[in-house]
Amino acid sequence: MPVITEPKIISGNANRSLATSIARRMSMHRGMSVGLVDARVERFNDQEIFVEVFENVRGEDMFIVQSTSNPANDNLMELLIITDALRRSSAARITAVIPYFGYARQDRRSKARTPISAKLVANLITEAGIDRVLTLDLHAAQIQGFFDIPVDNLYAAPIFALDIEHNFKNRMDELMIVSPDVGGVARARELAKRINAPLAIVDKRREKAGEVAGMTVIGDVAGKTCIIVDDMCDTAGTLCKAAEVLMEAGATEVHSYITHGVLSGPAVERISKSVMKNLVITDSIEPTAAVKACANIRIVPTAPMFAQAILNTWNGTSVSSLFETDTLVPIYEGLYTRG
C-alpha cells in the first residue's frame, strides 16, 4: 500500500460551495493547492444516482463533504454511493464530513410504533464502508453512540462566541443568552459561559404536536439585548414567536444564532417580517437564493474550522482542540477581531 501523503476532498451535490471553501482553506494551511477530486455525481432519467471518480484514489485518505439536507434522501444516497465508489477503488480510509446530519430529530421513539431513524441512518453509513464521521452540532449528542465508528462532533459555539465578541464588542454587558426551550438549555449555557453572559429560558407549552399554546420567559430580560441560541431552525415559527415574547418582556433587541438554517416553507418570509434584528446561521446547509437575499439573515463560515478538523484527522492530532474559542482565533484571523 502506498504511503498516505495528502488528504483528498470529494463532494456530493448537497453543498459544493462549502466543499470548495474547505479545499481553499486547506490550501492556505498547507501552502499548496488542494482541490476537489475530479468526479461526477449525476442522475439517470429515472433519478438513479451514478458516481464516477476520475482520479486515482488507491491508498488515499478520502474525505467526503456531504450534508444530508433537503432533499435528505437524495443527499444521503449520494453519500452512500460515493462511499461505495471510493471503497471499491481501494481508498485507504474514508471519512464522511457531514456538516448537517439529517434525520437527527428522529433520535428516539416519541410514540408507539415509530422508528429511530437516526440509528438506521448511522447503520447505513457504517455498513457502506465509512471509517469515521466528522459533523457539526448534532441535534442530540447521544447520536454519536448510534455509530460503531469514531464520530467527531464539532460545535458552532466557539465560532458564535467570536462573532458575538466582534459584533457586540462595546455592548457585552447588555447581552442575555436565551434558550428557546428547556431542551436547549445546555447548548445556550455553553455559549453564555464563553462570553460571560447571563442566561434566560423561553418555556413553551404545546397542546398538540406542531402548535405552541403559550410561551413564558424565565429570567429578567428587561433592557437586555437577547441572543437566542439553538441548533436548528426549520419553519421559524417558534423562533419568531420567542422573539416577540422577549420583546414584550422588555428586551431592547433580539438576535438569533442558529447552527443549521434548514429554513423550509415560510421560514424566510417569517424572519424578514419578524421583530428579530438579525438571524445568524452557518453555511452547513447550502443557502437558497431567498436566504441570501434576506436582509436580516447573515451567514458565518464553517470552512476554516472544518478544514482544520480534516487536517487534524489526517495527521492524527487533536480535533477536540477546536472546541475552544482561543484555538479558533488564528484560524478565523481576518474575519474576526476580539475586543
The catalytic residue among 111, 204, 241, 292 is 204
Identify the pLDDT of residue 304. 95
Rounded Cα distance, 134 and 110, in Å = 27
- Structural domain contains residue 336: no
Our CA dihedral for 337, 22, 103, 204, rounded to 10 degrees, sits at 10
H or E element that contains 94: strand 93-98
Residue 182, pLDDT score: 86
Count CB-CB contacts under 10 A for residue 92.
16
**Is the pLDDT assigned to residue 198 strictly greater than 50?**
yes
The answer on 308 and 249 residing in a single domain is: no
The answer to whether residue 338 sits within a structural domain is no
Specify if 339 maps to a domain: no
Share of the chain above pLDDT 90, in %: 83
Looking at residue 211, its pLDDT comes to 57
Evaluate if residue 209 carries a pLDDT over 60: no
Please report whether residue 324 resides in a domain: yes
Q: Which of 34-43, 94-103, 183-192, 322-331 has the least mean pLDDT?
A: 322-331
Q: Look up the pTM and report it.
A: 0.94
DSSP-derived 3-state class of residue 250 = coil
Q: What are phi and psi of 45, to 5 degrees?
A: -60, -30
205: region left, alpha or beta (phi > 0 left; psi from -120 to 50 alpha):
beta
Amino acid at 8: K
139 annotated as belonging to a binding site for a ligand: yes
Same domain, 81 and 184: no
Q: Closest by alpha carbon to 235, among 252, 208, 212?
A: 212
242 shares a domain with 148: no
pLDDT category, 206, cuts 50, 70, 90? low
Range of the domain at 317: 7-154+302-331
Whether 261 has a binding-site annotation, put simply, is no
Three cell numbers, residue 130: 465509512
Q: What is the mean pLDDT of the chain?
A: 93
CATH number (domain holding residue 111): 3.40.50.2020
Query: Can 204 be counted among the known catalytic residues?
Result: yes
Q: Note the pLDDT of residue 2.
A: 46
Q: Answer yes or no: is 2 within a domain.
A: no
Are 82 and 204 in a shared domain? no
Tell whether 144 is in a known binding site.
Answer: no
Percent of the chain with pLDDT over 70: 95
* CB atoms inside a 10 Å sphere around CB 334: 7
Nearest to 228 by CA among 274, 273, 266: 274
- In this structure, are 288 and 308 located in the same domain? no
What local confidence, expressed as pLDDT, does residue 212 receive?
60
| For residue 4, pLDDT beyond 70 | no
**pLDDT by residue (tens digit) across 86-120?**
999 999 999 999 999 999 999 989 889 999 999 99
**Mean pLDDT across the stretch 290-297?**
96
8 Å CB contact between 90 and 28 = no
For 262, which DSSP code?
-
The tens digit of pLDDT for each residue in 297-319 reads: 999 999 999 999 999 999 999 99
Please check whether residue 247 is in contact with residue 275, taking contact to mean a CB–CB distance below 8 angstroms: yes
pLDDT score for 204: 77
152 is in an annotated binding site: no
Average pLDDT estimate for 213-219: 85
- Residues 115, 99, single domain; the answer is yes
Structural contact between residues 190 and 158, judged by C-beta atoms closer than 8 angstroms? no
pLDDT for the residue 11:
98
Q: Is the pLDDT of residue 33 over 90?
A: no
| pLDDT tens sequence across 41-92 | 999 999 999 999 999 999 999 999 999 999 999 999 999 999 999 999 999 9
Q: What is the pLDDT of residue 1?
A: 42
- Cα gap 93→97, rounded to integer Å: 13
Query: Does 234 appear as a known binding residue?
Result: yes
Q: Is 326 annotated as a binding residue?
A: no
Q: Tell whether 105 and 221 lie within a shared domain.
A: no
Is 230 labelled as part of a ligand binding site?
A: yes
Task: State the total domains in the chain.
Answer: 2
Is 34 domain-assigned?
yes
- Asked whether residue 293 is domain-assigned, the answer is yes
